[in-house]
Structures are given as structure tokens and as C-alpha cells.
Amino acid sequence: MLLLALWRRLGRRSSAAGHVRCFSSAQALPSAEDFAARRREDALLGEIDARYPAFMVWGCNTDVGKTLVSTGMAAALLSPGKSQKSHVLYVKPVQTGFPDDSDARSVTQRIDSLVGRSESIFLSNRTMWLSDEASKKAALTKRSTDSSGSWKNSANSVKSSSSLTCETLWSWCAAVSPHLAAQQEGGGASDDELRKVLRSSLWEFGAGASQTGRSWAFVETAGGVASPAPSGTLQCDLYRPLRLPGILVGDGRLGGISTTLAAYESLLLRGYETICIVIQDMGLGNNQHLSKQLHNRVPVFVIPAVPKNPGDDLAGWFHDTSSTFVQVVSLLEDAYHKRIQRLREMPKKASELLWWPFTQHRLVPEENVTVIDSRSGEFFSVYENKHGRFAQQFDACASWWTQGPDASLQHELAKQIAYAAGRYGHVMFPENVHEPGLRCAELLLQGVGRGWAHRVYISDNGSTATEIALKMALRKYAVDHGFLTNQGDKKPDFKVLALRGSYHGDTLGAMEAQAPSPYTGFSQQPWYSGRGVFLDPPTVCCQNRKWQLRVPERYGTIATELAWDAREDVFALGRDNTELAKIYSSAIEKEIMSSQGSLGGQTIAGLIIEPIIHAAGGMELVDPLFQRILTQQCKCHKIPVIFDEVFTGCWRLGAEFGFFDERLFACKSAWELLGCKPDIACYAKLLTGGTVPLAATLATQDIFQAFEGASKLDALLHGHSYTAHPVGCSAAVTALEWFKDPSKNPNLLPGTSRLQEQWDPELVAEISSRSSVERVISLGTLMALELRSTSSSQKGYSSLLSSGVVKELRQELGIYTRPLGNVVYFMCGPLTKPSVCSSLLRRMLKVLE
């Protein structure tokens, strides 16, 4: 906001070009108001025009000739004799040393002298914003006074002429790094603003110019790839959400192989594509070595060294380089067309070759396939062929509940993953130890396992973590209750106690712990037999601004009228002394006793629950009182208790471990809140910050000891090849540390392990009062609503009731959701700003109208 105060001379147009011949463009010039509007543009709806090629121009260092390369490319595109006219946009988002240095002016002047003399060409050069100092100096030196006067709009002639539009977005006077210039002279643009304005420039240029010939844009960065932007953010991070492909200008001098490759790798690490490298020939053959190192996949072009004492216009040098730049441009054009062609064909190929999980392919026409070109933090960049654009969509399903990173954490994860892959690749784990595996275990025990867990068993995904947990629980029960020693010939029929609607994974063992559902039918899994005793849980939800308890009929009618004003009341430990607690308790006890020993040796040998939220089961909030009592009673019967926190763990519900009562500040984790500890718990999904599969099953020492013995055959004989793979463990270490670090997670409430409320309670209450909404829950990073159905066919997993809502959110409002039947949910990350969440909620309200 300080920056806004410093914002002056908004939209000032200055042309520092001495020889601006005329200005023209099919699009209207942005006015001061336009520019202000660009800065206010909705960040959720950023988009990039894909109908014309646009490239970043990067340098491996400062002073390697980026602007000359930009000029060379522009000249190749604008040079005489082209049957089709070209429109080139050159953008310098950040210029320091202005007005003495103006790369945009330099491009304009050189193109004027190289091309303009022989070709009818419309040239323009303008600077959008100048610092006070830059402005004063520009006035003094008269280098930017001949600006607006020379603009001439000749919209009719533009169709038959090529054009060069040069834009400098922000200019400072000091010839230093932009972050220092902004510190010294003020007026620094925030990253969001800078991206918005740049996106607008590209969009407006495309909208105006694309129908009148070939359009091209080059965005030239300042300094090296990792030089700071005005905000201090590295430029390679700043521009990442746009992810334009790039040209890297390398260094042909001694040491240049190293700086060029290192810069290339820094771009790679951030997910950029580098189409080619251009270097000056300093007689060292750097280009050959670079080509070899890059396995010839990135072409390296050589241009003659720039004369040390260049004349006025480097005309000779440009003449010598022109054929090379024609090649460069041809390569870029080819890369652009190949990219777009591939993006276009992807939906068809995907429909033909892929077999998507949980998808009836017949119901997914090609045009409904989403082409995800990249992700930056919470946002997808989606290619939309219909609109010829890359659209930004908020990933509101958190990619199947795995996502947590913002753009900074995503980059940090990429770095740490790269480090682990470079250091270890994968190394085997049993009887071995490596740093990421050990550190991951330590962090889990200090975090989610604090106070109860002693051992960490690492596997690949939620489903394997659950299978392992079940094996642990059943062994423990068998040991404690004498089933291993007194077994005889007849094996007991071990069952687990579980809640109807809970979900634990898709491998057979995990499915056996789930109640019958569409997932478990004969046609899906003929081997499923349902090895559980399944209870109907009471649930809670927000309806018309009230938190309402819903108790299954079997528990009697006493509690059906219960409701609370605040969500926190649902979690109050005081509820332990209510009449309802007694009802739950006796119902549960009856269930355990009646199942135990019945039906030919049936024995309840474990309890498995998803704490608080049944996720895949439709985002149901289970009454925590019920789960607390259930856990306590199983403990009394020496039935091992498994918390399946694959979904709920690692900050998903607003706290590191499961749910955290906001009023219980002393409380450190869910088991303390629940008043009971699990014996075993499973973690996955957010564990790696949403990068690669990894899972952990934590257990008490008691559980572990049930597998100790003299023989290897007593050990838990379960494992996966990539157990504790260093890449996943490093990602987990990075994410676990980041989320709980107050310097990195602005959502952390000071002194706690809890997140501030991300979903504005007032907006959530508003949604709960809409007539089309059956119920709402919000907790931690989750906000879910169930649409009210009017017929029974609109209920359940296969319901299509939500498809209209989902379609509008995706196509019109930039929100990628994936419904669960008629439940639509938004899921953000632990780092997502509440303002972004509110923006999502307001869009939902709009759709619900």
C-alpha cells in the first residue's frame, strides 16, 4: 500500500527514441486509466494469449547482449521482403539506469535504422512508469520529451505494414539491480502488479495485432536469470506463473560454459523451457561444449563477438548476424507451432491411450479433457484451445487432496527433490539409514506422533500405509489375546470395527476395512468380503447458519434436535458428560460385545477411523464425541486403534495433526483433544507437500514389540521397493518444516500449531443459508457443500447434479473443482491467503444464485 502512495505519473508515456517515425497499432493505446486497471486486474483470472509466439529473453549474466539478441530477432522478423507482415512486441518490464539506458529505445532505434529505411514500418516506444529521479533526468536530458506528440494512429495502414511496439513497464534512474533502485527511488511494483501489467500488455497486443499478420512478443529480463526484480523476488521466480518459453543468451568468454549451463539449470529447476541458447563467439568454442552437455536437445547458436568499440548502430555486426537470427526465429516459430500442435492433440491422444482412474471414459468427450500445462502454487495453467489461451485455474480439489504449496514452497520442494535425486537417486532402506529417511521419521515423531508414537514405517501411498497399519493391529491383537499361541487348527475370523462412509484406499486389504459401497461390488472387486463390523456414525454440518447434529435412528431420537451456533462447540470436551455421550457409549459397547465371538469365531481385532472428516465418503464431519468414545472403548477392550489420517493429517484440517480446538491453546494435537491416543496412525497425501507419493505408518512401541522375536519370520514381512525413497522423504522434510515455520507460513497463529481461519465464517454461513444448499462444512483448508437433491437419483456417488455448478466454476470463474456426487468442495493449501479463499467463496455464492 506504501507502494501505491508512491505511484505517480501513472500511465505516462514517454518515447525516448530519437527517430520514432510514427506510431500505429490496431489496438488502442492503453490510457492511464487502462494501466491502472491492469494493475487491479483479478489475479485469479490471469491468462496468456496462446495465438501468437511469445518468448522470454534471459541472460546467464548481466552484459551478455540480451538486447542485441532481441534486436536481432526483431530485425529478422521485420526485415524487408516478407510476404506476410509482422507485428513485434518488445517488452522490458523493468529498466534501471533510465533514461541513459533504455533497452526499449535501443531496440526501437536500431530497428529503425536497420529496417525502417527500406520498409514501411510503424514504430512505437513508450515507458509506462518512471521513478521521480528517472523522470527528472529524462526531462533534463530531453531524452524522453518527444513522446506523446509523435504518436500517430493510422489504423488503416497498419494492415499493410509491419510494426514494432516497444514498452518499458517500470523505469528507475540508478544503474543498479532493480531491487536496489526501487529501494532508493521508491515505486517498486509488487510481483502481482508486475505480472498483471505484463499479462495485459501481451493480451492487448495479441487481441489487436493477431489478425493482421504474424505477431511475436519478446519479454526481455534485466540482468541474469536469478537477478532480483523490484520486489526482491528473483526474476526467474517472478515470471514463473506465465511460464513463457525462453531464449537464453549465454556467455562465450572463459568461464562462460559454466555460467551458461548454471543459468540453464536454474531455469530448468523452475519448470521453464529453454528453446535455444545464443552466445557470442569469443574463439573458445563454448557453443560446441554446451551442445554436447545439453545432448544436442537445446540448439546453441553462435553470433560474432560484438565489436568492443561499436559504432553508431552496429550495422555491420547486424549484417553479419542476420542469417543466424533468421535461423533462431525460424527455430522459435517451429517450437511454438509444435507446442501448440501438441497441446491441441493431447485431449484426443489422452482419450485414446490413457486409462483414467475412477472415470467412465464414455462420459468424457474429448472437449472436456483438461490440458494442464503447468502449476504455480495453487494455480493450474490450463491450455484452452477454444479460446486460444492459457488460463489460470485455482486447483480447488487440491489435486485429489494432495496439495499444500504456494509458489515459493513449490520451488523449494523442486530444489530439495533435485538435491535428493542428485545425492541419492534411490537407495534401499532395510538395515540401512540415510539422512532424509531418518530426518523424516524424526519430524513425524516430534510432530504428529508426539507423545504416543515411537516407530515410523515408511511406504508408498495411503493404501499401503493402511494395509500396513491393519497388519500391525491384527498382529498386536493376536499376540495380546493369545491367538498366536493357542490357535490350534482353526483360525479366528478377525474383523475390524469401522464407520460406514469411511474410506481407506483401493487395494484389497484397505477395501476390506470399508463398508460395502459402489467401490466394493462384485463387478469392481470380486474378492471383497467386507471384513468389518460397520457402525453408522452421527454427523454434524452447518445448515442455515447452524451447526446441526444428525444422529442415525438406531441411537434413539433424544439427540436429533441438537444444534450449535459455533463450530467450536461441537468439539468441546464438556460434551463428554452429556446424556448423548451415555447413549453413544452404550450403543458402541453393545455393538462390540454382540460382534465379539459370534458367527464362528468372529473377533473384532482392530478399530480404524478417519478422525473428524469422512473425505471420500462425501466430506462428512463425524461427531468428534462419538469418535472419542469409540476410541476409548476399544482401548478398554485392548482392541488396537488406527487413525487413518491420510486425508486429515498434516495441516489439512488446520492443524498439524487432525483437528485442533481453537479454544484449547494448551492442546498440542488431536489425540490430546480427543482425550485418547491412537496406537497406529497413517499419513500420506500432504506429507510430501503434494509432490510425489510417500506414506508413513506410525506406531507405539507396544505395537512394534508384537513383531519382535528370535526369527525373521516374526518380523513384519511387508515392504515396497521404494520404501523411504530419499526424494519423497526430502520433500516430506521440506514440507513438514515449512508449514510449521512462522517465517514461511503466514497463516500460522502465533505460538500455536494452528492455522488462522481461511474460509471466512460469514461467507460460509451465507452459503449455508442458500436454498440450493443442503449442508456445508468448513474446517482448516476444506470447505464443502452438498447440493440439495430433489429426487433419489440425484443422490450418491454417481449423481450428476453438481455438473452444472462445476462446469461454470471451471469455465467461467477459473476454479477447477471435481465433485463427489452432489458434494462440491474447495480445498486450499495451508499457505493460501484467506483473501484468495474469500474470492473463491464469493464466486461460489455467485454460481449458487
Is 162 in contact with 85 (CB distance < 8 Å)? yes
DSSP codes of every residue in 31-90: -HHHHHHHHHS-GGG-EEE-SS-EEEEEESSTTS-HHHHHHHHHHHHH-TT-SS-EEEEE
Cβ-Cβ contacts under 8 Å for 304 (sequence gap 6 or more): 280, 281, 317, 320, 321
Is 406 in contact with 827 (CB distance < 8 Å)? no
Reported residue count of the chain is 849
Residues 583-612 that bind a second copy (CB under 8 A): 605
The sign of the CA dihedral 649, 653, 659, 662 is positive
Which is nearest to 458 in space by CA: 721, 715, 690, 691? Answer: 721
Q: Say whether residue 430 binds a second copy (CB under 8 A).
A: yes
Shortest spacing between CB 744 and a second copy, in angstroms:
8
Shortest spacing between CB 184 and a second copy, in angstroms:
11
DSSP codes of every residue in 618-663: TSEEE-HHHHHHHHHHHHHTT--EEEE-TTTTTTTTSBSSS---TT
- Residues 711-737: b if buried by 16+ CB within 10 A, e if exposed: eeeeebeeeeebbbbbbbbbbbbbbbe
Nearer to a second copy, 60 or 94 (CB): 60
Cβ-Cβ contacts under 8 Å for 431 (sequence gap 6 or more): none
Residues 776-815 that bind a second copy (CB under 8 A): 797-798
Q: Say whether residue 179 binds a second copy (CB under 8 A).
A: yes
Nearer to a second copy, 243 or 628 (CB): 243
Q: Say whether residue 184 binds a second copy (CB under 8 A).
A: no
Decide: helix, strand or coil at residue 604.
strand
Cβ-Cβ contacts under 8 Å for 630 (sequence gap 6 or more): 497, 535, 584, 588, 607, 609
Nearer to a second copy, 17 or 134 (CB): 134
What is the spatial distance between Cα 795 and Cα 797, in angstroms, rounded to a whole number?
A: 7
Q: Say whether residue 6 binds a second copy (CB under 8 A).
A: no
Nearer to a second copy, 30 or 436 (CB): 436
Shortest spacing between CB 76 and a second copy, in angstroms:
27
Nearer to a second copy, 33 or 334 (CB): 334
Nearer to a second copy, 527 or 792 (CB): 527
What is the spatial distance between Cα 10 and Cα 127, in angstroms, rounded to a whole number?
A: 10
Residues 514-573 that bind a second copy (CB under 8 A): 518-519, 521-527, 531
Shortest spacing between CB 541 and a second copy, in angstroms:
25
Which is nearest to 261 in space by CA: 245, 244, 279? Answer: 279
Shortest spacing between CB 453 and a second copy, in angstroms:
10
Shortest spacing between CB 177 and a second copy, in angstroms:
7
Is 122 in contact with 164 (CB distance < 8 Å)? yes
Q: Say whether residue 302 binds a second copy (CB under 8 A).
A: no
Q: Say whether residue 717 binds a second copy (CB under 8 A).
A: yes
Indicate which single residue of 7, 151, 400, 564 sits in contact with a second copy (rule: CB under 8 A): 400
Strands 773-779 and 680-683: unpaired
Residues 58-87 that bind a second copy (CB under 8 A): 60-63
Q: Say whether residue 306 binds a second copy (CB under 8 A).
A: no
Residues 217-236 that bind a second copy (CB under 8 A): 223-228, 232, 234
Per CB under 8 A, the segment of 43-51, 149-157, 384-392, 503-511 that binds a second copy is 503-511
The number of CA neighbours under 13 Å toward the Cβ of 725 is 20
Shortest spacing between CB 378 and a second copy, in angstroms:
10
Indicate which single residue of 41, 146, 435, 589 sits in contact with a second copy (rule: CB under 8 A): 435
Strands 546-550 and 389-395: unpaired
Question: Cβ–Cβ contacts within 10 Å for residue 352, how many?
Answer: 9
Residues 814-833 that bind a second copy (CB under 8 A): 818
Q: What angle do CA 238, 244, 245 make, to 5 degrees?
A: 125
Shortest spacing between CB 595 and a second copy, in angstroms:
16
Shortest spacing between CB 600 and a second copy, in angstroms:
14
- Residues 118-144: b if buried by 16+ CB within 10 A, e if exposed: ebebbbbbbbbbbbebbbebbeeeebb
Nearer to a second copy, 352 or 579 (CB): 352
Shortest spacing between CB 100 and a second copy, in angstroms:
15
Indicate which single residue of 21, 51, 82, 415 sits in contact with a second copy (rule: CB under 8 A): 415
Q: Say whether residue 510 binds a second copy (CB under 8 A).
A: yes
Shortest spacing between CB 677 and a second copy, in angstroms:
18
Per CB under 8 A, the segment of 157-165, 469-477, 762-770, 833-841 that binds a second copy is 469-477
What is the spatial distance between Cα 648 and Cα 832, in angstroms, rounded to a whole number?
A: 17
What is the spatial distance between Cα 12 and Cα 138, in angstroms, rounded to a whole number?
A: 12
Q: What angle do CA 570, 781, 672 make, to 5 degrees?
A: 45
Per CB under 8 A, the segment of 139-147, 468-476, 659-667, 772-780 that binds a second copy is 468-476
Residues 722-741 that bind a second copy (CB under 8 A): 722-723, 725, 727-728
Residues 242-271 that bind a second copy (CB under 8 A): 243, 254-255, 257-259, 261-263, 265-266, 268-271
Q: Say whether residue 103 binds a second copy (CB under 8 A).
A: no
Nearer to a second copy, 194 or 346 (CB): 346
What is the spatial distance between Cα 473 and Cα 396, in angstroms, rounded to a whole number?
A: 35
Shortest spacing between CB 475 and a second copy, in angstroms:
6
The number of CA neighbours under 13 Å toward the Cβ of 479 is 16
Q: Say whether residue 716 binds a second copy (CB under 8 A).
A: yes
Indicate which single residue of 132, 384, 385, 424 sits in contact with a second copy (rule: CB under 8 A): 424
Radius of gyration of the chain from its Cα atoms, rounded to whole angstroms: 31
Shortest spacing between CB 540 and a second copy, in angstroms:
26
Q: Say whether residue 298 binds a second copy (CB under 8 A).
A: no
Per CB under 8 A, the segment of 160-168, 512-520, 656-664, 831-839 that binds a second copy is 512-520
Per CB under 8 A, the segment of 202-210, 408-416, 532-540, 750-758 that binds a second copy is 408-416
Nearer to a second copy, 76 or 497 (CB): 497
Per CB under 8 A, the segment of 99-107, 428-436, 657-665, 782-790 that binds a second copy is 428-436
# residues contacting a second copy (CB under 8 A): 174
Q: Say whether residue 711 binds a second copy (CB under 8 A).
A: yes
Q: Say whether residue 651 binds a second copy (CB under 8 A).
A: no
What is the spatial distance between Cα 558 and Cα 561, in angstroms, rounded to a whole number?
A: 7
Indicate which single residue of 11, 492, 516, 552 sits in contact with a second copy (rule: CB under 8 A): 492
Residues 333-392 that bind a second copy (CB under 8 A): 342, 346-347, 349-350, 353-364, 368-375, 380
Shortest spacing between CB 484 and a second copy, in angstroms:
6
Residues 668-707 that bind a second copy (CB under 8 A): 684-685, 689-693, 697, 699, 704, 707
Is 80 in contact with 115 (CB distance < 8 Å)? yes
User: Burial of 97 by CB count in 10 Å (0-12 exposed, 13-18 middle, 19+ buried)?
Assistant: middle
Which is nearest to 677 in space by CA: 454, 370, 410? Answer: 454
Shortest spacing between CB 734 and a second copy, in angstroms:
11
